[in-house]
Amino acid sequence: MSQTQTEPEIRKGLVGVVADTTAISKVNPETNSLLYRGYPVQELAARCTFEEVAYLLWHGELPTPEQLSEMEEAGRSQRALAPEVRAAVDLVPTTAHPMDVLRTAVSVIGATDPAADDASPESSYAKSVRLLSQIPAVVAYDQRRRRGQELVEPRNDLGYVENFLYMTFGEVPADVVVDAFRVSLILYAEHSFNASTFTARVITSTLSDLYSAVVGAIGALKGPLHGGANEAVMHVFEEIGTAENAEGWLEQALAEKRKIMGFGHRVYKRGDSRVPTMKAALDTLVAHYDRPDLAELYDRLEAAMVERKNIRPNLDYPSGPAYHLMGFDTATFTPLFVAARITGWTAHIMEQLASNALIRPLSAYNGPDERHL
């Protein structure tokens, strides 16, 4: 009797694999849309504070004024950089990437939390609020120490976004800057089973603690194929120099088989649903800082890439130059992504815990046949 052996189907990079359900966000490449808990992200960016969006991602509904102020109060009381976290940051040399500093700081925040291993929903939520509040203090302080500047203590009379900028720059910038930063954080907050979120879910699935899952997610986000691309976009802009070099630079880069940072996406093949909103925010910054040269370079490279490869920008493409115009150092861009995505990551960690199954795929062995010594 002959038996046909079916080869296992291997989906390298898990392309097209549906790994689980989620109620947190829906990415729909067909309609080019992104919903957080059912709400289009564009509407949230137009109408909500970042704190409201964080609450929505965590709880499934937008907060009432009372619920919001309760969450904000808990967050404000934890905004200052804890002394042991500051000491840990100071130990890391400034030759290290800010993502390495942030990863270390989150590890210390976890290691100094006596309830680190408490996986109850209440404790997970409290940790999520804690990380949301502490991460800006780390990011702002790290950029300042690299510039030889003193730490700026938080201001509790300010909202999250204003305070983040205040701790970074020592002043609250113009409304247009505050608003562009708010929009970027909302757009970066959540995006289903992207690589860093999936990393957090894999770690959580072993019943490890929330901080370990976030540390792993930070590591995954750092790579230039994921969050590290917003920083890489700025390096591309610097390499190109001025708009008239864009086409020539692209030809050469493609000839060298380079990946063009800020373009392409695993899920969206006809454009990233978040780009138009972030591009509009970038345009307001270009006008505010009077930098039409940057907008021209942006447009020329995008047009050339669409013409040559029919590949469109992802969110990192407008975010990189937007953060540059706001005054952030290029190496700080991906930590800003962490500050936003901590909301989505922790929402997914809580969702995974609520309905857990160990994540453990199979592999098809292709090494030598069995042999003996």
Ligand X SMILES: O=C([O-])CC(=O)C(=O)O
Ligand Y SMILES: CC(=O)SCCNC(=O)CCNC(=O)[C@H](O)C(C)(C)COP(=O)(O)OP(=O)(O)OC[C@H]1O[C@@H](n2cnc3c(N)ncnc32)[C@H](O)[C@@H]1OP(=O)(O)O
Residue 361 and residue 231: Cα distance in Å, rounded? 32
Q: Which residues bind ligand X (CB under 6 A)?
A: 191, 194, 265-267, 314-315
Which parts of 42-71 interact with ligand Y (CB under 6 A)? none
Active site residue 97: no
Segment contacting ligand Y by CB under 6 A, of 40-48, 92-100, 164-172, 260-268? 260-268
CB of 194 to ligand Y, least distance (A): 6
Which of 101, 261, 322, 340 touches ligand Y by CB under 6 A? Answer: 261
In the bound state with ligand X, the residue whose beta carbon lies nearer, of 163 and 277, is: 277
CB of 34 to ligand X, least distance (A): 9
CB of 225 to ligand X, least distance (A): 9
By CB under 6 A, tell whether 278 contacts ligand Y: no
CB atoms within 10 A of CB 363: 7
Question: In sequence order, which residues have a C-beta less than 8 Å from that of residue 309 and are 6 or more positions away?
Answer: 254, 260, 263
By CB under 6 A, tell whether 99 contacts ligand Y: no
**Token representation of residue 367:** 């090494």
CB of 191 to ligand X, least distance (A): 3
Residue 293 and residue 247: Cα distance in Å, rounded? 15
In the bound state with ligand Y, the residue whose beta carbon lies nearer, of 316 and 351, is: 316
Which of 311, 327, 329, 359 touches ligand Y by CB under 6 A? Answer: 311
Active site residue 117: no
Residue with CB nearest ligand Y? 264
Spatial contact of 154 and 19, defined as CB atoms under 8 Å apart = no
Segment contacting ligand Y by CB under 6 A, of 1-9, 101-109, 202-210, 308-316? 308-316
By CB under 6 A, tell whether 315 contacts ligand Y: yes
SS3 category, 258? coil
SS3 category, 266? coil
SS3 category, 251? helix
**Token representation of residue 12:** 């390298």
Residue 182 and residue 187: Cα distance in Å, rounded? 9
CB atoms within 10 A of CB 55: 23
Residue 259 site contact among ligand Y, ligand X, none (CB < 5 to 8 Å, cut-off depends on kind):
ligand Y
By CB under 6 A, tell whether 341 contacts ligand Y: no
CB of 291 to ligand X, least distance (A): 26
Taking the alpha carbons of 365, 368, 371, 373 in that order, is the dihedral positive or negative? negative
CB atoms within 10 A of CB 281: 23
In the bound state with ligand X, the residue whose beta carbon lies nearer, of 76 and 265, is: 265
- Catalytic position from the list 265, 272, 324, 348: 265
**Token representation of residue 9:** 């189907």
Alpha helices, DSSP H only, in 147-191? 160-169, 175-188
How far CA 320 is from CA of 75, 107, 227, 361, 368, in Å, comes to 27, 26, 11, 35, 46
Please, what is the angle between helix 83-91 and helix 121-146, to 10°? 50
Residue 40 site contact among ligand X, ligand Y, none (CB < 5 to 8 Å, cut-off depends on kind):
none
Segment contacting ligand Y by CB under 6 A, of 18-26, 128-136, 206-214, 261-269? 261-269
In the bound state with ligand Y, the residue whose beta carbon lies nearer, of 260 and 350, is: 260
Which of 26, 145, 146, 259 touches ligand Y by CB under 6 A? Answer: 259
SS3 category, 164? helix
**Token representation of residue 63:** 């907060």
CB of 199 to ligand X, least distance (A): 11
3-class SS shares of the chain: helix, strand, coil, % to 5:
60, 5, 35
**Token representation of residue 309:** 């490869």
CB of 344 to ligand X, least distance (A): 8
By CB under 6 A, tell whether 126 contacts ligand Y: no
In the bound state with ligand X, the residue whose beta carbon lies nearer, of 20 and 247, is: 20
In the bound state with ligand X, the residue whose beta carbon lies nearer, of 297 and 315, is: 315
Closest of 181, 179, 187 to residue 273, by C-alpha = 187
Contacting positions for ligand Y (CB under 6 A): 13, 224-227, 229, 259-266, 309, 311, 314-316
Which residues belong to the active site?
Answer: 265, 316
